[in-house]
Amino acid sequence: MDPAFRASRPTAQSLCLALPFLLEKGWQMELWCLHHDEALDPRVKVRLLPRARWLRLLEPLWFWLAAFCLLTIRRWRGHNEDIVHTSGPDIPGADVMSLHFHNRTWIGLQVHELSHSFKDRLKILHTVIGFIQETVALSSKRWRILLPVSEGLAKRVRPQLSPDKSVLVLPNLLDEKRFNLSVRPLHRAALRTRLQADDRDYIFIFVSTGHYHRKGLWPAARAIRACREMARKECGLNLRFLVVGAGDRAQQSLIPQLNELVPGWRDWIQLVPPVTDVESWYAASDAFLFPSRYETFSLVALEASACGLPLLITPYDGHEMYLKEGINGCLLPWDQEGVDACLADFLRSGRHSMKPGPASSLNAAAYAARLDEIYTGLLQARA
């Protein structure tokens, strides 16, 4: 169950890519959603629930209610599916729940860090709804298996669960066909020519389609601005910044903020709309800068690492899955002064020239094998 089952969404991408392998193992799959990718495997039966577009951001809440009611009615009528797996939002009564976010943690950060503007209060209200929904799902009496995407997230949710609940960490998979070390020689020269970048240009990349405040866009931009003069004089580098994934609406919001917070940004920051070949943009870049305030895994960081970029990230949940300090990147502190200092040290120490290899990760076949093991074990335990 997932309201928007698209491979472009990290919350659904792993399941979407693993579906063909699960089908080959003999599982019959039925998808409940509001909409899905056109490229979905035709062997998957799809049950489209009625949409409520007028609810906008709250439409997933409608899906949560509709799916729960339909599931309850079907069980009452004796239609018991072997396993019900929800990947968001969390449906009470599901047997397996993939967990990609923890609203209880994020709401605390919002209250302490965001301003009290009307827009920010609406964001907090949206998180409160998610927190209520999350609490109801985690307290469901039906026996279930939780699949958090990182050990950090697992540590946060375990205190909320009764002892009979099973928690198995299942990280997001990496599409190794797209994200690997071969993309650098394939795409780097052509895209850097398009960007008019020469050997002196050192390009940091930030990838996100939204939630820029939470993901640390402003600390990243300020840190680069603070280091540009030093990098030019001491390292002979011209620092540039690619922000990939900012669509038209996002840019309408970001540009006024950039004008206010980072004057003169157009000389070294480039806003790039959502792209289908983000691996090419990793190849054209030199380091991945992502001082996010809260994540539970951050698939984009894993993708950047797989493409050979050093990572500069904060200690959010999941960083322990792929960051090795001093080997494939650097851990940034939360405060702005600390980010500035770490970025300057990264450049002065020569670590900016490191060419790390990819972090360990699951591919689609391995991810499907883990799910097959989990599903089979669940059925055997019931028997």
CA distances from 151 to 119, 169, 317, 360 (A): 32, 6, 7, 15
Q: Centre a 10 Å sphere on the Cβ of residue 314 and count the other Cβ atoms it contains.
A: 21
CATH class of 4-173+363-382: alpha beta
Is residue 293 within 8 Å of 194, Cβ to Cβ? no
Identify residue 23 by its one-letter amino acid code. L
> Which tokens in the block code for residue 293?
């305030």
Q: What is the tally of helices (H) and strands (E) in the chain? A: 13, 14
What whole-number distance in Å separates Cα of residue 131 and Cα of residue 196? 46
Q: Indicate the CATH number for domain 183-353.
A: 3.40.50.2000
Is residue 49 within 8 Å of 66, Cβ to Cβ? yes
What are the residues facing 244 on neighbouring strands?
Answer: 207, 272
pTM listed for this prediction:
0.90
Please list the pLDDT of the chain residue by residue as tens digits (383 residues).
999 998 878 778 899 999 999 999 999 999 999 999 887 889 999 999 999 999 887 888 899 999 999 999 999 998 877 899 998 777 888 899 999 988 888 888 877 665 556 666 677 777 888 888 888 888 877 768 999 999 999 999 998 888 888 999 999 999 999 999 999 999 999 999 999 999 999 999 999 998 898 999 999 999 999 999 999 999 999 999 999 999 999 999 999 999 999 999 999 999 999 999 999 999 999 999 999 999 999 999 999 999 999 999 999 999 988 888 888 899 999 999 999 999 999 999 888 777 777 777 899 999 999 999 999 999 998 87
Same fold yes or no, 4-173+363-382 and 183-353: yes
Q: Residue ranges of the domains in the chain?
A: 4-173+363-382, 183-353
**Dihedrals phi, psi of 199, to nearest 5 degrees:** -65, -20
Nearest to 16 by CA among 24, 312, 31, 221: 31
